[in-house]
Structure 1
Amino acid sequence: MLLHAVGTAFARRPDTVAVAVSGGGDSMALLDLAIRAAAQQNQTVLAVTVDHGLRPEAADEARMVATFCAERGIHHDTLRWDGQADGNLMAAAREARYRLIAKWARDHDCAHVVLGHTQDDEAETFLMSLARGAGVNGLAGMDLFPTYGRVQWRRPLMSVSRAELREYLMRRNIGWVDDPTNDNDKYLRVRTRKLLPQLDAIGLNAGQISSSVHAMKMARSALEYYTIKEAEEHVVVTGGDVTLPRNFNRVMPVEIQRRLWVAILQWIGGGQYAPRTSALFELDTAILDGRNHTLNGCAIIVKDDKIHVTRELNAVHDLTCPTDEIWDRRWRLDGPHDPALTIAPVGELGIRQLDDWRAAGFSRASIISSPAIWDEKTLIAAPLAGFNDNWTAQIVAPWHPVAKHALNL
């Protein structure tokens, strides 16, 4: 069963599969299974370990994995994270891990990575989400088929317990290391992990929690389906903006409204996290009152029977970058690039240099927050305002009515 699960992780069997390996029991079992499955399927296996530089033992653990791979003719690399975290260290290290692995995979022409998460990990995530009052998305747990950094990720062992994988390793006479962090009660996941066995007393175990997670995943899919349907009926996308009928929410269920607003605000504002329910309530009140509003770096303009959502100028006022980079995480400008030029918003200074911006069909709020090419204080081009001068502007992340969640790998 284990070998089949790993061998069929991807619907279309890739030529090359990468395994993210920490040296712990779960990932070592996955690595061995991936090597065995690849031998049967004529695939190439690569392995990668990330040393976050947080523990002195991590380098030795990476060397252990490297030795294991070398003995089996598997290419292995160790990546090191030297970053700093201002807030949640574990979350920052986790995001860095996926970012580093994704880049490494692309550099090795590999678009498929398998991860060693188990049924126990899913149960722990569910309980942690429940403790913070998460809704359907949070309780649906980790995505089954995520794509991040232009790489497809899979978790073929999500129906397998941690204990089963330890038994597998012992049968195969394969060693592993236990990360001491996994016994540090400072971390909520560790405390949750230690709590799980006590829940058996009321008949609650990882398998049953996994069933609930599956039900939440189906509920999330249904909600996303109807959010897409409502978006198709009500949302009009022009350039980088969204327009809605002012009464779009009259017959729409509250949860679908919330999801649609989250998708719009995250697409335009670029935020990683959804706005709080209280903030969305304030937005709804403003719309009912006919007042303009700002939220999550977006300007929501109520006029006549329409709601217009665009980027808030204050959110991008000081945002500049070279012309060959992505501006505001969503705009790519192409034209006669020059190191002396920069991308910045049109702003008040730029709109005074535009003679006929109204002809472009965008509102003033849209124009002043849109990307422009500057030579110091001289406006060279403002593509959305119709002032092109051989420059074009393109959204790099197309609109989709299902919001991207915070890194949910």
Structure 2
Amino acid sequence: MALLDMAIRLAPDRVKAVTVDHGLRAEAAGEAEAVAAFCAEHGVPHTVLHWKGAAAEGNLMEAARHARYQLIADWAKGQGIDTVLLGHTKDDQSETFLMQLTRGAGVDGLSAMSDAFDVGGAKFIRPLLSVTRQELRHYLTDRNIAWADDPTNDNPKYARVRFRQAMPTLADLGLTHDALAKTVAAMQSGKDALDHYAAIEAARLVTIVDGDVVIPQHIQPAIPADIERRIWLAILMWIGGGTHTPRQSALDELAAAIADGRGHTVNGCQITIKYGAVRVTRELSAISGKRIASTETWDRRWRLNGPHEAGLEIAPLGEQGLRDCPDWRETRQPRHTLIASPAVWRQERLVSAPLAGFSNDWEAQIVTPFTVGKKVH
């Protein structure tokens, strides 16, 4: 509510508001109505999005967070909005740091929450990370604006809540929000330095070939393990995507396979080794059955440019499609690369496969460049 009021005061003609009802509390509908009334009073368009949270499995709070971001990103895209503001505070920063500390996190996990990140083409920004919740409550009280406290935020069933409730005791020991913020900033500085040198090494080692990544099997001269880890995380997330970076155990298995010269799959990526080079390709099974309109971005990275028409879709080329590309061998690209490449289809008829030598006036363009150290939420 504080962030909404600040945004309205700063740019009243450019604000739209969205509330996500996670379907977990009966009170949420009334809270959304209160937000809608506030927005109507200030001439701000307001939308309520719904998520069936009761059907979620596993870590409920984590599932709700990812669902919320994706719902909002899709809504923003439909509204022509490219920037979404989030109200996370210095308190959230402290709680996240402490939670990560108990998990044995390294520099990345202990560094600051991202002040900006992307989800589905929408840029999310956290402008209040230097402000405490109490300061926001004072702000709302001074402006006579009501707000709702989610009782979930006081339920000790959740680890974050337990850390929140422990903060007064930790503050008595010197672990105040300000003290933790300094440590978080120091961790962020260290992370930035590591990402900087990882990007330099990646520029030396990584080659992009038709959307695949090629990197030496044996890196010479050798580089620090953490720098190599960052490069591999960037490769796997760029090609395979997903909402989480691969676990260290998955990276260890990958390293063992590379050392032995064995093929491997991880994070939606297929790894092959030939002539001392490791090639990372999109795994066909990870995108099999997926279809989108030809005008949309394929698999977060590809844009297909050509004579778009209604009914044309992008889908993987696949084995059947490759048989309709008589010149595919002339591309000199591996078969497994081409069958996972994006192609244009009209129902079951292949219209174009730009990477497989069957362009038919279409071209495939990478629109999301490979980067090391990209921020995630």
Q: Give me the whole-angstrom Cα distance separating, in 2, the residues matched to 1:86 and 1:58.
A: 20
One of 158, 181, 203 as aligned partner of 1:232? 203
SS in 1 for 2:116: coil
Question: Aligned runs of 1:342-361 on 2, under 5 Å?
Answer: 343-361=314-332
326-335 or 59-68, larger mean C-alpha shift? 326-335
Aligned-pair CA distance for 1:253:
0.9
**TM-score where L is the length of structure 1:** 0.81
Structure 2 residue identity aligned to 1:57:
E
- Pick closer, same or farther for the CA change 1:291–1:49 going to 2, 3 Å: closer
- Pick closer, same or farther for the CA change 1:271–1:29 going to 2, 3 Å: closer
* Residue equivalent to 2:214: 243
One of 29, 36, 44 as aligned partner of 1:75? 44
What are the superposed Cα offsets for residues 274-316 of structure 1, whole Å, 9 maximum, x if unpaired? 2222222222222223333222222222222322221233434
276-285 or 80-89, larger mean C-alpha shift? 80-89
Aligned-pair CA distance for 1:373:
4.1
- Pick closer, same or farther for the CA change 1:180–1:333 going to 2, 3 Å: same
**TM-score where L is the length of structure 2:** 0.87
Is residue 2:248 matched to residue 1:277? Answer: yes
One of 143, 157, 175 as aligned partner of 1:172? 143
Is residue 2:174 matched to residue 1:203? Answer: yes
Aligned-pair CA distance for 1:160:
2.1
- Pick closer, same or farther for the CA change 1:168–1:322 going to 2, 3 Å: closer
* Residue equivalent to 2:2: 29
* Residue equivalent to 2:372: 401
47-56 or 137-146, larger mean C-alpha shift? 47-56
* Residue equivalent to 1:126: 97
* Residue equivalent to 2:275: 304
What are the superposed Cα offsets for residues 53-77 of structure 1, whole Å, 9 maximum, x if unpaired? 3222122222223333444x34141
Structure 1 residue identity aligned to 2:19:
T
What are the superposed Cα offsets for residues 105-143 of structure 1, whole Å, 9 maximum, x if unpaired? 455554443332221111111111222222222211321
Q: Give me the whole-angstrom Cα distance separating, in 1, the residues matched to 2:119 and 2:351.
A: 35
Q: Give me the whole-angstrom Cα distance separating, in 2, the residues matched to 1:89 and 1:161.
A: 25
74-83 or 104-113, larger mean C-alpha shift? 104-113
Q: Give me the whole-angstrom Cα distance separating, in 2, the residues matched to 1:327 and 1:246.
A: 29
Structure 1 residue identity aligned to 2:4:
L
What are the superposed Cα offsets for residues 319-343 of structure 1, whole Å, 9 maximum, x if unpaired? 2425525444443434455677654
- Say whether the 8 Å CA contact 1:236–1:244 is kept in structure 2: yes
RMSD: 2.9
4+ runs deviating over 6 angstroms: 338-341
Identity of aligned residues (%): 52
- Say whether the 8 Å CA contact 1:298–1:311 is kept in structure 2: yes
Structure 1 residue identity aligned to 2:280:
V
- Pick closer, same or farther for the CA change 1:165–1:185 going to 2, 3 Å: same
Question: Aligned runs of 1:24-173 on 2, under 5 Å?
Answer: 28-38=1-11, 44-71=14-41, 73-84=42-53, 85-106=56-77, 108-173=79-144
Count of residue correspondences: 374
One of 192, 202, 207 as aligned partner of 1:221? 192
Aligned-pair CA distance for 1:104:
4.3
Aligned-pair CA distance for 1:384:
0.8
